[in-house]
Chains A and B, each alone.
Chain A
Amino acid sequence: GQQVMQIPQYQHVQEGEDFTTYCNSSTTLSNIQWYKQRPGGHPVFLIQLVKSGEVKKQKRLTFQFGEAKKNSSLHITATQTTDVGTYFCAGQGYQKVTFGIGTKLQVIP
């Protein structure tokens, strides 16, 4: 079945440092979505990538979708304490969405 691997599982950074989380799917995806879950909260949709090689930006966040539509990354430039949370990718395969395990980001002030 479809598997979505996400690394790293945990990341501690100093405020101002950059952060990247990576997702790899065992199968080609029709799209990939990214979510952020704050501690104690529920997942909140950030973005969806659909096209091969697509790059989207949201302020300090840059999202990429690989050419083969099997991998994706989320990069945060100059992290802030408000970036704390767990970032999940979710790959849309045939008839189902599979979530990665998530990357828990801790930002040290």
Chain B
Amino acid sequence: SAVISQKPSRDICQRGTSLTIQCQVDSQVTMMFWYRQQPGQSLTLIATANQGSEATYESGFVIDKFPISRPNLTFSTLTVSNMSPEDSSIYLCSVDGTDTTDTQYFGPGTRLTVL
């Protein structure tokens, strides 16, 4: 299994500012994923972050808006830039399990409210 922590757990931000979310895993993982879950909605993949290479963004998400860092195999950050109220969501990081069951583990999420 993998234990994932995220910081901050929640934040309230002003329009136009930026917030960096941190994700820490208790074991080394190759791929880390960032998801967004808007209120009452499902999870949408923002990007996949591999250590040592540029993140791969899904359709509708761009690096200028959601820059990602992946400095090592246990840590990643997602920045939500130039925020607007439409960015109010829960942001979750996720990793693939390292055991044979190929599970996907999620962090506790960061609840972001943009005023």
Contact = CB atoms under 8 A, between A and B. Distances in A.
Summarize B's interface: helix, strand, loop or mixed.
loop
Contacts, number: 38
Interface stretch (B15-23, B61-69, B76-84, B97-105): B97-105
Interface residues of A, number: 19
Contacts of A42: 92, 106-109
Interface string A40-53: 01111100100000
Given A1-B59, A42-B109, A33 B104 contact: yes
Contact of A45 (B42, B59, B104): B104
28 contacts: A1-B59, A31-B102, A33-B103, A33-B104, A35-B106, A42-B92, A42-B106, A42-B107, A42-B108, A42-B109, A43-B92, A43-B106, A44-B106, A45-B97, A45-B103, A45-B104, A48-B101, A90-B43, A90-B104, A96-B45, A96-B58, A97-B45, A97-B104, A98-B45, A99-B42, A99-B44, A100-B42, A101-B41
A98 B45 CA distance: 8
Interface of A: 1, 31, 33, 35, 41-45, 48, 88, 90, 96-102
Given A1-B59, A42-B92, A42-B109, A48 B103 contact: yes
Contacts of A88: 42-43
Contacts of A35: 106
Interface residues of B, number: 18
Tell which of A41, A42, A102 has the most Cβ of chain B within 10 Å: A42
A43 B44 CA distance: 13
A26 to B, nearest CB: 15
Nearest to B96: A97
B105 to A, nearest CB: 7
B42 A102 contact: yes
In the A-B complex, the 8 residue pairs with the smallest Cβ-Cβ separation, listed nearest first, are A45-B103, A99-B43, A101-B42, A42-B106, A99-B42, A43-B106, A42-B109, A42-B108
A74 B54 CA distance: 37
A51 B12 CA distance: 44
